[in-house]
Amino acid sequence: MRNRIIRITGIAAMVGLPVAAMGDVPDSSPVPQHVVEWGYVSGAAMLDGGVEDSGVVVSTVIRVPGAVWLKLSFAGSVLGGDPAAEGARIRVTSMRDGGVQILNRESLEKAGYSSVYFNGDECLVEVIAHGGIASSVLAISQVTAGDLPNAWG
């Protein structure tokens, strides 16, 4: 009988019928998390050399002990150069599983100056730039950290 309920729920969702009436109500509990004001600002950084040269010009580690996941806010960051060419970019790497996100100026704006969610309690954040482009500033204003739900009530 359970298989039929699942099939009906899938069909109801495809045709736009309310699925909650079928008994499969999603959990609406808030996700346990807390916000940490970070206040990191790198100062202006650029790479000497020509546009063919590239390297890390800013590097910092974000760590919130015990967090299950992290999401970073880059409000105030400025990435130099043309994002369609050799513009600077932010690379965030989860220290738990190696997950990576790379943001240029355009994708950073589209993402609302936020990262994706990273597994674990620690991330490496770097600004990678090419020589001969305008300086960049890495700002990390807040870190949202996922907490373990209180499973024991």
Q: Which CATH architecture has domain 31-146?
A: Sandwich (2.60)
* pLDDT averaged per 10 residues in sequence order, the chain, 153 residues: 40 45 60 95 94 94 97 97 91 98 96 98 97 95 92 46
pLDDT at 25: 58
Closest CA to 99 of 70, 140, 137: 70
Give the model's pLDDT for residue 30.
77
CA 2 vs CA 5, 18, 23: distances in Å: 5, 18, 11
Taking residue 25's Cβ as centre, other Cβ atoms within 10 Å add up to 9
Query: In angstroms, rounded to a whole number, what is the distance separating the alpha carbons of residues 115 and 102?
Result: 9
Which residue reads 């950290």 in tokens? 145
Burial of 20 (0-12, 13-18, 19+ CB in 10 A): exposed
Domain boundaries, given as residue ranges, for the chain:
1-28, 31-146
Q: What is the pLDDT of residue 149?
A: 79
Q: Are 13 and 19 in contact (CB under 8 A)?
A: yes
